[in-house]
Amino acid sequence: MNLSDPSSWTIATARAALDLREVSATELANTILERIATVEPSVHALLKVTHERALADAAAADERLQRGERAPLLGIPVVLKDIFATRGITTTCGSRILENFEPPYDSDAAQRLARAGSVLIGKTNMDEFAMGSSNENSAFGLAHNPWDPTRVPGGSSGGSAAAVAAGECLASLGTDTGGSIRLPASYCGVSGIKPTYGRVSRYGVIAYASSLDQVGPLAWTVRDLAAVLGVIAGHDARDSTSVPRDVPDYVAGLTGDVAGLRIGIPREYFAEGIAPDVERATRAAIKTLADHGAKLVEIGLPHTDYAIATYYLVATAEASSNLARYDGVRFGLRRAQSGDSLLEMYRQTRDAGFGPEVKRRIMLGTYALSAGYYEAYYSKALQVRTLIRRDFSEAFARCDVIAAPTAPTTAFRIGEKVADPLAMYLSDIFTTSANLAGLPALSIPCGFDASGLPIGLQLIAPAFGEETVLRAGDAYQRATDWHRRRPTLAAGRSGEGA
Ligand code: GLN
């Protein structure tokens, strides 16, 4: 482990160094904070650096380590997407309407990470209310892709992916409603997993589309994802959609063995519109798994063409309802002059507080739910959602995991798609289906395009099949070194990681 270069660390290497007392949690935290000071001006992955909290967490971790305690995340520097409520720490969700909002309580994921002894370094940049695929909808300026600062990091958890790629933490949490963990993981060359709907508690996670939202980790390696998932997964009575089901030892499940694993290749995902470099790299990755004993089967997911339309109806409908609570009364921004009516206060607050994409979604969702249109749009979307789910159950009769690209292209240029929301929505074409069906899906680096931008391989499993995608992803990382490549940041160092 190169102690001066955090971008070369993983949780696994830091864990070993901490346990052997070669380095203290405080030293790790300080090195990370220095790294942030250097690279953050060119990346802007963070909306807040929690300096004091980081040093206090690190000191507490050092005490526990000193006493001989050993735990997977003890002393590990992490960051949280700014959608996770953190007690006394501003939680903006990337929006002006929550600019000064300090939650009075912690989200379940934040609590579990804290109890596990991890060190909270900061809160990450994101598209406003997690609506977006590029981070350009952040009210506080977008994050940049560490591989090429003229490119987007992906969204909506763009800051969470960029923070890992830039060496500003060893793992981050994001949320994924239609691809928001997997897309930025793929664009930033890191690993990320969206677990099964209900696997991780959403208590204290600001709601976007409640039937789709799920929490998950991003890190360099699948092994690191397994370590973090093991800490944040599990039942929570405060989230009624959280599933009471034992959490397996995800790290112990990484046997490296994929012999006999049936990998389904959906023909609809390798169709027109996918960049040639992306197709080449994902096909090569699938071949690598086959070379290690996996069996390839061609499958069909015939309703793939309807996934984007279905997703954008369901997500906006739920968002229009969830976002009704930002009214200037209970929390966040309030805009009103004395003498204004209540309605006038709502109007002014929401007009000043929400950005253009959020307003567009509220209008779309309200329309889809309104009397006279409900049957034609929202009900229809729910019916198609059932068909998409059925596609997956039929496919999983013939395979154990589905492999496909995470996104049709690599990271696009900043500004390229802002004027064309439909083009932006199409970045989610391969990711939204797993949310509509509630399935676990992993994205791992599997190569680079001609411009040196990372490409992501997506692995999808049946519900609660996290162990299967993690095992396959880890087997792939044992055989390849894409996850060891590091970007050359202007101020940072490049080179091989751990
Ligand atoms: N890009 C999708 C959207 O804008 C997905 C976002 C997400 O998963 N939060 O809705």
Regarding the beta carbon of 154 and ligand 1, being less than 6 Å apart is answered no
Q: How many CB atoms lie within 10 A of CB 140?
A: 18
Catalytically annotated residue among 133, 156, 191, 427: 156
pTM over 0.85: yes
417 is catalytic: no
Distance of CA 176 from the midpoint of ligand 1 (Å)? 7
Amino acid at residue number 92:
T
180 is catalytic: yes
Tell me if 177 CB under 6 Å of ligand 1: yes
Ligand 1 near 174 CB (within 6 A): no
From first to last of the 498 residues of the chain, give the pLDDT tens digit. Answer: 788 888 899 999 999 999 999 999 999 999 999 999 999 999 999 999 999 999 999 999 999 999 999 999 999 999 999 999 999 999 999 999 999 999 999 999 999 999 999 999 999 999 999 999 999 999 999 999 999 999 999 999 999 999 999 999 999 999 999 999 999 999 999 999 999 999 999 999 999 999 999 999 999 999 999 999 999 999 999 999 999 999 999 999 999 999 999 999 999 999 878 999 999 999 999 999 999 999 999 999 999 999 999 999 999 999 999 999 999 988 889 998 888 899 999 999 999 999 999 999 999 999 999 999 999 999 999 999 999 999 999 999 999 999 999 999 999 999 999 999 888 998 999 999 999 999 999 999 999 999 999 999 999 999 999 999 999 999 999 999 999 999 998 554 333 343
DSSP 467: H
Say what the pLDDT of residue 1 is. 76
| Dihedral pair phi/psi, residue 338, rounded to 5° | -65, 140
pLDDT at residue 490, rounded to an integer? 56
Helices (H) and strands (E) in the chain, counts: 15, 11
Residues 85, 86, 88, 91, Cα dihedral to 10°: -50
Q: Quick check: helix, strand or coil at residue 189?
A: coil
Does any ligand 1 atom lie closer than 6 A to the CB of residue 431?
no
Residue 177: CB partners within 8 Å, gap ≥ 6?
130, 156, 208, 209, 212, 213, 214, 315, 435
Question: Which of 81, 95, 133, 206, when mutated, tests ligand 1's pocket best, judged by the most ligand atoms within 8 Å of its CB?
Answer: 133
Centre of ligand 1 to C-alpha 132, Å, is 5
Of ligand 1's atoms, which has the minimum distance to the CA of residue 357?
4
pLDDT tens by residue, 254-310: 999 999 999 999 999 998 789 999 999 999 999 999 999 999 999 999 999 999 999
Which atom of ligand 1 lies closest to the CA of 131?
Answer: 4
Report whether residue 131 contacts ligand 1, using a CB cutoff of 6 Å.
yes
* Sign of the dihedral defined by the CA atoms of residues 312, 317, 318, 322, in that order: positive
User: What integer pLDDT is reported at residue 462 of this predicted model?
Assistant: 98
Q: Cα separation of 293 and 204, whole Å?
A: 42
Atom of ligand 1 nearest to the CA of 133: 1
Q: What is the pLDDT of residue 399?
A: 98
Per-residue confidence (pLDDT) for residue 273, from 0 to 100: 84
Please calculate the CA angle 171-172-174 and round it to the nearest 5 degrees: 145
- Note the residue count of the chain: 498
Provide the phi-psi class of 154: left if phi over 0, else alpha when psi is between -120 and 50, else beta.
Answer: left
Quote the pLDDT of residue 292. Answer: 98
Q: What is the pLDDT of residues 282-295, one digit of tens each?
A: 999 999 999 999 99
